[in-house]
Amino acid sequence: MKAGEFILGYPDESGPGPALPKPKVLSRNGSFMAYRRLEEHVGKFRDFLRAHGETPEEQELVAAKLMGRWRSGAPLVLAPEKDDPALGADPQRNNNFNYKEQDPQGYAMPLGCHCRRMNPRDTTQGNINRRRMIRRGATYGPQLPEGKPDDGIERGIAAFVICASLIRQFEFAQNVWINDKNFHELGNERDPIIGNQDGTLEYKIPKRPIRKVIKGLPSFTTVRGGAYFFLPGLKALRWLASLGDKKQPEK
Q: C-beta of 194: minimal distance to ligand HEM in Å?
A: 5
Q: C-beta of 72: minimal distance to ligand HEM in Å?
A: 10
- Residue 30, amino acid: G
Instruction: Tell me, rounded to whole angstroms, the distance of Cα 17 from its chain centroid.
Output: 25
The answer to the question of residue 42 lying near ligand HEM (CB under 6 A) is: no
The answer to the question of residue 130 lying near ligand HEM (CB under 6 A) is: no
Question: Could you write out the DSSP letters of every residue in 34-76?
Answer: EEEEEEE-HHHHHHHHHHH-SSHHHHHHHHHHHHSB-TTS-BT
The answer to the question of residue 38 lying near ligand HEM (CB under 6 A) is: yes
Binder of ligand HEM out of 49, 87, 157, 237 (CB under 6 A): 157
Binder of ligand HEM out of 8, 63, 64, 67 (CB under 6 A): 67
The answer to the question of residue 193 lying near ligand HEM (CB under 6 A) is: yes
Angle at 74 (CA atoms; ends 77, 67), nearest 5 degrees: 75
The answer to the question of residue 114 lying near ligand HEM (CB under 6 A) is: yes
Contact in structure between 239 and 26 (CB atoms under 8 Å): yes
Q: C-beta of 200: minimal distance to ligand HEM in Å?
A: 21
Contact in structure between 41 and 197 (CB atoms under 8 Å): no
The answer to the question of residue 194 lying near ligand HEM (CB under 6 A) is: yes
The answer to the question of residue 173 lying near ligand HEM (CB under 6 A) is: yes
Rank residues 29 and 169 by Cβ distance to ligand HEM and give the closer one.
169
Contact in structure between 74 and 88 (CB atoms under 8 Å): yes
Binder of ligand HEM out of 113, 221, 233, 236 (CB under 6 A): 221
Among 242, 250, 229, 46, which Cα is nearest to 155's?
46
* CA–CA distance, 66 with 201 (Å, rounded to integer): 14
* CA–CA distance, 200 with 197 (Å, rounded to integer): 7
The answer to the question of residue 159 lying near ligand HEM (CB under 6 A) is: yes
Interacting residues with ligand HEM (CB under 6 A): 36, 38, 40, 67, 69, 73, 114-115, 118-119, 133, 135, 157, 159, 161, 170, 173, 193-194, 221
